[in-house]
């Protein structure tokens, strides 16, 4: 299995820097690791989050189409039930609680996969993402005069040692939602660069590759929004929905 893993990792194309055109699609990556059970579970757990980003933006009318890697297109368009580990969290409650419940279920699913497969990277990634998402949710709630605690998800999974003050300050100072989204994507990219487990030749390398690939796809959507690539929407409107979904 070790030699197999080395082959699959060595066969990955170079991603390059954030802002470049992704060399492969998330669907390609999922198929590439299909023969490695834990690697596939890790990759799918990561790519699922980008599917959910697309789903929220599509349902808000800010994406004209979805290209999910893990969900089916019908699931991403809310035309079919979500997988069991996600669907339970969306059956009842208000819109806010359904949306937050969906993300909580996704985080807990990823954390469970990390535990099952012994993935240090995925566990740390979940901790960082939960901490960042909850910090952003609290900042938005405070700005609107709402209860900050009401919008946190899976708080017990967040990394309490993550220093988010610099990114929150930069995000708050962004001139437009589009600029704010760029801040969040760059922050996530920099975190991945520092924690991608490169040259360990473990499944974690494949999971980190998936996370970076998803960010490259999200950056491309920002560019499309800025260039008016989403028919019938303005750049700021599109980026606002994408920023809410991503953060």
Per the model's pLDDT, the better-predicted residue between 119 and 2 turns out to be 119
pLDDT tens figures, 86-104: 875 544 444 445 678 899 9
Examine the pLDDT at 243 and tell me if it is beyond 80.
no
Contact call for residues 245 and 56 (beta carbons, < 8 A) = yes
Contact call for residues 28 and 8 (beta carbons, < 8 A) = no
Residue 174 to residues 126, 134, 229, 245, Cα–Cα distance (Å): 25, 19, 22, 17
Enumerate the domain spans of the chain: 2-246
What is the pLDDT confidence band of residue 232, given thresholds at 50, 70 and 90?
very low
H/E element, 200: none
pTM confidence score: 0.88
Contact call for residues 174 and 180 (beta carbons, < 8 A) = yes
């Amino acid at each position: 299995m070790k030699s197999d893993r080395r082959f699959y990792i060595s066969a990955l194309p170079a991603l390059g820097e954030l802002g470049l055109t992704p060399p492969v699609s998330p669907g390609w990556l999922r198929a590439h690791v299909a023969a490695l059970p834990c690697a596939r579970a890790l990759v799918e757990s990561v790519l699922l989050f980008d599917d959910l980003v697309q789903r929220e933006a599509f349902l808000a009318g800010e994406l004209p189409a979805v290209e999910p890697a893990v969900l089916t297109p019908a699931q991403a368009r809310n035309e079919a039930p979500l997988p069991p580990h996600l669907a339970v969290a969306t059956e009842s409650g208000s819109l806010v609680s359904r949306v937050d419940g969906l993300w909580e279920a996704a985080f807990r699913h990823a954390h469970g996969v990390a535990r099952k497969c012994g993935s240090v990277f995925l566990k740390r990634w979940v901790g960082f993402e939960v901490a960042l998402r909850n910090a952003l949710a609290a900042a938005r709630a405070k700005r609107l005069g709402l209860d900050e605690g009401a919008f946190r998800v899976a708080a017990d999974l967040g990394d309490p040692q993550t220093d988010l003050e610099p990114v929150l300050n930069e995000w708050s100072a962004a001139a437009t939602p589009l600029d704010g989204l760029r801040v969040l994507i760059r922050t996530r990219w920099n975190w991945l660069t520092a924690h991608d487990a490169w040259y360990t030749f473990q499944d974690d390398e494949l999971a980190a590759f998936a996370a970076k690939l998803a960010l490259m796809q999200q950056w491309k959507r920002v560019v499309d929004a800025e260039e008016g690539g989403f028919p019938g929407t303005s750049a700021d409107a599109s980026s606002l929905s994408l920023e809410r979904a991503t953060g």
